[in-house]
Amino acid sequence: MKVFVTVFMCILVVSELRAWDSPCQNPNKRNGYCVNINRCFGLMSVHTKSKRTTSEWRFIQESRCGDGNFVCCAGDTDFDSTYLLPQPYTCGGDTTHIKILGGNETAISEFAWMVLLEFRRFYGSELETPCGGSLLNHRYVVTAAHCLVGSYASPFGTFVSVRLGEHDTRTPEDCLRGICSRGVKSVAIEEFHVHENYVPDSEYWHDIALIRLQNEVEYSPTIRPICLPSTVVGRILHDGDTLTVAGWGRTDNEDGSRGSPTLQKVRVRFVENNICMKKYKSLYMHVNVSKICAGGQSGVDSCTGDSGGPLMSYSKGSWILQGIVSSEYENWIKEKMWT
């Protein structure tokens, strides 16, 4: 029996020593060594915390590199947002300078991060696209929470996929002024997160949701991510600054029953929150720092079908996601993202 115990212990020691010698890459693509988590101070400190964030828990799970409690130890304790979030000019690139209400049709690939959310009704196979969203990286799309839960979303059936690289929903090949593209793709969803404090059918507080795609998508001229504000340093909004909204929503040329078949854009003016609060106070509408006010010009606005799409600013050669048609929460986005 003593011999057996000795041999067994030797096997464990040899196995652990081999693990120490085994190079690996952690979820942030940094080089490390595969070790027992007890010997990785950083990950062990997170592992023993009384409360871990979802991101921290997933980072430990994605760091596993062998049997049992072995992890890739490289000094990191959470996902690196600089790895998860693309940097200029990968994100937000402006490749063209060429009706949402009062808007204009975009050029093909002008806002290549725009996506359509695809729903399948409980009967039949036809897909509905009642909302838009924005591609953040190879795997994530951000949209409005009311597009996925509540009375607005429920009539459309089950949310199944997102469509990328779209311009004209009527044609399999998009052509505009002699330029054509076949880059449209539908990608199934893996999961989505609605903000924990969002209350369906309320006044749209915390109206944000993050969608994780089942597979990574390759970037192309018609499929690219938009930048988040932290990746473009020095961009501060001032009252009267020009912002842009894009989407396939209803325009003033539609009969009111369906949205525009082509991607539209419209420019609106940023309104500082203290001014916005005063204007809406008499209408009993609540505005706080988590909301962005823009618009105010008659006949120029987002409309039904534009929900979930981006409110964008342009700075230093990149388009920046300043808000969703109803919300802005960069820290929440970063916390929910994982590789």
Q: Quick one: pLDDT at residue 240?
A: 85
What whole-number distance in Å separates Cα of residue 296 and Cα of residue 268?
A: 8
Nearest to 248 by CA among 293, 319, 302: 302
Q: Quick one: pLDDT at residue 213?
A: 96
What whole-number distance in Å separates Cα of residue 268 and Cα of residue 244?
A: 6
Nearest to 99 by CA among 243, 252, 245, 244: 252
What whole-number distance in Å separates Cα of residue 133 and Cα of residue 309?
A: 5
Tally DSSP H helices, then E strands, for the chain. Answer: 6, 17
Position with higher pLDDT, 168 vs 102 = 168
Average confidence score pLDDT of the chain: 80
Record the pTM: 0.73
Which domains, from first to last, does the chain contain? Answer: 2-79 (3.30.1640.30), 84-336 (2.40.10.10)
Q: Quick one: pLDDT at residue 237?
A: 80
**Mean pLDDT throughout 208-216?**
94
Residues 10-24 have pLDDT tens digits of 444 444 444 455 899
Residues 107-150 have pLDDT tens digits of 788 899 999 999 998 877 789 999 999 999 999 999 999 999 99
* Cα angle 206, 211, 216; round to 5: 150
Most confident of 45-49, 91-95, 248-252, 302-306: 45-49
Active-site annotation, residues: 146, 207, 307
Q: Quick one: pLDDT at residue 123?
A: 77
Query: CB neighbours of 157 closer than 8 A, spacing ≥ 6?
Result: 119, 120, 121, 122, 128
Q: Quick one: pLDDT at residue 176?
A: 67
- Paired residues of 223 in beta bridges: 220
**Confidence class of residue 68 from pLDDT cuts 50, 70 and 90?**
confident
